[in-house]
A and B are shown apart, each in its own frame.
Chain A
């Protein structure tokens, strides 16, 4: 009964006109950034964060979450019609989606992507509703050692899943931790690494870092090369998949939802990885694996469902433990803290409005997305035609004003530009931004829990090994870190997504 009560709270929050408005704005902007090149969901969320300061916490999170799952819908449109994924989680959709479009089946491809996303999104919200409450009960028993080791494990999984060199991902995480610790020491209020700058006393802001790494650097990388985009000229018609399409797609949607949800819980690029793995799984279970890559509907339905289901799964560690599993959730954590809500096991009790309101709004948002993406597809196709030379000055303008308005500080503009240059160079030298941002957010929490643990144990490190959960997390993290050195296992890590797909 208690569950139904909470659900009632959720609906009463999500159906308030102002929250419906924020939800609509979120999914609309999400679809837009999913379709537009040059800006992804992370950049868009950091850009719009300042616009939520005057809203209630639930409205703010409803909108920001809407951008996230909305972008998953929008991203598939460009994959199918232009063969350029709107964001990374839609990369595999290109393989069969674009082929379908070239065979004159753009309609069913877009249709199944939207319906699959809707079904998977809905299933993952149900999973979130049922799994989150018992998990937060469990999390209430955790102390500083458990939190510290869980964060170590979270970061390690993210690094393990990062493509490319593991030492490089680790060094990014280490640098992120350093950045996160700049400012006043939370225990004795001593300024650290502030270089005499008043602006650094409160630490470096999350928004300038994220906007620099994911907004400015993307624009710089896009400007340096001329990308030709061939938009499919044929008209999109017949969006409703046929009975045969449905029959072929049901299995992939179900498997994709399940896979996506559980992979979404894990730290790292849940949506991206799950779309790759779903494609690989469908290819393996199919009776006609040779058809994959030639325009088969299973190759669109599975990954598109998986990437949407992953968005629901990703909320679990944030809402129950207060540990964000990926950069987007780290942004949401930042937004919640700004609004005075601390995510974690107590959130469900202390802020049921936010917790249940956001969950129910995601359900409503999914319905809005279905309407936005199917009947209105022609509008998004028009948006695709906006040339980049017009778009990029506007993206830069939004970044500049957005970052300034957070603290009304020009210093933050410089910080953003610094990270823009850094992100640009990181790409050239083969480094990734995600471990840096996640470690930046986790840094202060990790330090606090480590120091508390050591104070509790009077300097005895064995506290991390005698408590079962802490020990298990550390051992698993250690195993992941050394696994590339073990012969036979190292190869597997690289092989998971790419080689099975391409």
Chain B
């Protein structure tokens, strides 16, 4: 019997090896996170008016779901405390994987959302795609720029010209 089991993602690639024996610290962290969320939901629900059982108010469901979340997070926490700790179980989250690439892509996507309206669809998308084509497995500049321009205009044609979705014009005034 293997200790770890392979998980298949939606796309089918093998990934996210989950080691049940190595979940202790992760479960403690996640249970505390959900407990805080549960307390927040409970508090918010309480402030929204619970109503009565005859006529439940706006906060009724929130309050009780919050209570359930707190209870569930306690169960996860207690179960985690009983588990045996495995050395370096948190480290596995970022060793042997290219987490820096993930962070850089996330920052790029957040920046894209930020400049999307002021710069406009065409310019911001070309910049994003050049970065994405270069970021993970760097390709030649000429290819990255050409690929980005072609993909951007193809998407523009599909969404804006054919499907008539409004896209931000930005400083170039196209859209």
Residues of A within 8 A of B44 (CB): 192-193
User: Which of B34, B66, B97, B116 is in CB contact (< 8 Å) with A413?
Assistant: B116
B-contact 0/1 string along A214-225, CB 8 Å cutoff: 101011111111
Is B65 a contact of A178 with CB atoms below 8 Å? yes
Looking at the assembled complex, report how far the CB atom of B32 sits from the nearest CB atom of chain A, in whole angstroms: 12
Is A459 a contact of B99 with CB atoms below 8 Å? no
Is B58 a contact of A192 with CB atoms below 8 Å? yes
Residues of A within 8 A of B132 (CB): 392-393, 396
Looking at the assembled complex, report how far the CB atom of A166 sits from the nearest CB atom of chain B, in whole angstroms: 9
Is A220 a contact of B102 with CB atoms below 8 Å? yes
Query: Cβ of A450 < 8 Å from any Cβ of B?
Result: yes
Is A175 a contact of B69 with CB atoms below 8 Å? yes
Looking at the assembled complex, report how far the CB atom of A7 sits from the nearest CB atom of chain B, in whole angstroms: 33
Residues of B within 8 A of A218 (CB): 9-11
Residues of B within 8 A of A397 (CB): 125, 128-129, 151-152, 155
A432 closest partner in B (C-beta): B7
Is B48 a contact of A192 with CB atoms below 8 Å? yes
Residues of A407-424 contacting chain B, CB below 8 A: 408, 410, 413-414, 417, 420-421, 424
Cα of A170 to Cα of B79 in the assembled complex, Å: 15
B100 closest partner in A (C-beta): A224
User: Which of A43, A167, A454, A461 is in CB contact (< 8 Å) with B76?
Assistant: A167
Residues of B within 8 A of A461 (CB): 53
A-contact 0/1 string along B88-110, CB 8 Å cutoff: 00000100011101100110011
Is B72 a contact of A221 with CB atoms below 8 Å? no
A-contact 0/1 string along B57-98, CB 8 Å cutoff: 011111001101100110110010000000000000100011
Residues of B within 8 A of A420 (CB): 106, 109
Is A222 a contact of B11 with CB atoms below 8 Å? yes
Cα of A499 to Cα of B76 in the assembled complex, Å: 25
Residues of A within 8 A of B75 (CB): 167
B92 closest partner in A (C-beta): A428
Looking at the assembled complex, report how far the CB atom of B128 sits from the nearest CB atom of chain A, in whole angstroms: 8
Looking at the assembled complex, report how far the CB atom of A70 sits from the nearest CB atom of chain B, in whole angstroms: 15
Is A177 a contact of B65 with CB atoms below 8 Å? yes
Cα of A45 to Cα of B37 in the assembled complex, Å: 30
Looking at the assembled complex, report how far the CB atom of B163 sits from the nearest CB atom of chain A, in whole angstroms: 6
Residues of A within 8 A of B15 (CB): 221-222, 225, 227, 427
Interface centre among B5, B132, B137 (most CB of A within 10 A): B132
Residues of A within 8 A of B142 (CB): none
Looking at the assembled complex, report how far the CB atom of A33 sits from the nearest CB atom of chain B, in whole angstroms: 9
Cα of A219 to Cα of B101 in the assembled complex, Å: 11
- Also in contact, A165 and B12, with CB within 8 A (given A400-B109, A450-B61): no
Residues of B14-35 contacting chain A, CB below 8 A: 14-16, 18, 23, 26-27, 29-30, 34
Looking at the assembled complex, report how far the CB atom of A48 sits from the nearest CB atom of chain B, in whole angstroms: 10
- Also in contact, A181 and B61, with CB within 8 A (given A389-B139, A454-B53): yes
Is A224 a contact of B97 with CB atoms below 8 Å? yes
Query: Cβ of B172 < 8 Å from any Cβ of A?
Result: no
Query: Cβ of A430 < 8 Å from any Cβ of B?
Result: yes
Binding site secondary structure of chain A: helix
- Also in contact, A410 and B11, with CB within 8 A (given A224-B101, A392-B136): no
Residues of B within 8 A of A315 (CB): none
Looking at the assembled complex, report how far the CB atom of A61 sits from the nearest CB atom of chain B, in whole angstroms: 18
Is A224 a contact of B99 with CB atoms below 8 Å? yes
Query: Cβ of A339 < 8 Å from any Cβ of B?
Result: no
Is A165 a contact of B8 with CB atoms below 8 Å? no
Is B11 a contact of A170 with CB atoms below 8 Å? no
A186 closest partner in B (C-beta): B58
Residues of A within 8 A of B34 (CB): 171, 175
Residues of A141-196 contacting chain B, CB below 8 A: 164-165, 167-168, 170-171, 174-175, 177-178, 181, 185, 187-188, 190, 192-193
Query: Cβ of A401 < 8 Å from any Cβ of B?
Result: yes
Cα of A430 to Cα of B27 in the assembled complex, Å: 8
Residues of A within 8 A of B164 (CB): 54
Is B10 a contact of A40 with CB atoms below 8 Å? yes
Is A75 a contact of B12 with CB atoms below 8 Å? yes
Query: Cβ of B171 < 8 Å from any Cβ of A?
Result: no
Residues of B within 8 A of A460 (CB): 53
Since A220-B105, A393-B133, A429-B29 are in contact, a sample of 19 more A-B pairs with Cβ atoms closer than 8 Å, ordered by chain A residue number, is A37-B12, A88-B10, A167-B72, A168-B30, A178-B65, A192-B44, A192-B58, A216-B109, A389-B133, A390-B133, A396-B132, A401-B121, A413-B113, A417-B106, A424-B102, A429-B30, A430-B27, A454-B55, A459-B52
Closest 10 interchain pairs by CB?
Answer: A459-B53, A40-B10, A393-B132, A85-B12, A459-B54, A405-B165, A224-B97, A413-B113, A185-B58, A389-B137
Residues of A within 8 A of B61 (CB): 177, 181, 446-447, 450
Cα of A190 to Cα of B68 in the assembled complex, Å: 23
Cα of A394 to Cα of B133 in the assembled complex, Å: 10
- Also in contact, A42 and B105, with CB within 8 A (given A225-B15, A405-B159): no
User: Which of B13, B26, B116 is in CB contact (< 8 Å) with A430?
Assistant: B26
Looking at the assembled complex, report how far the CB atom of B76 sits from the nearest CB atom of chain A, in whole angstroms: 5
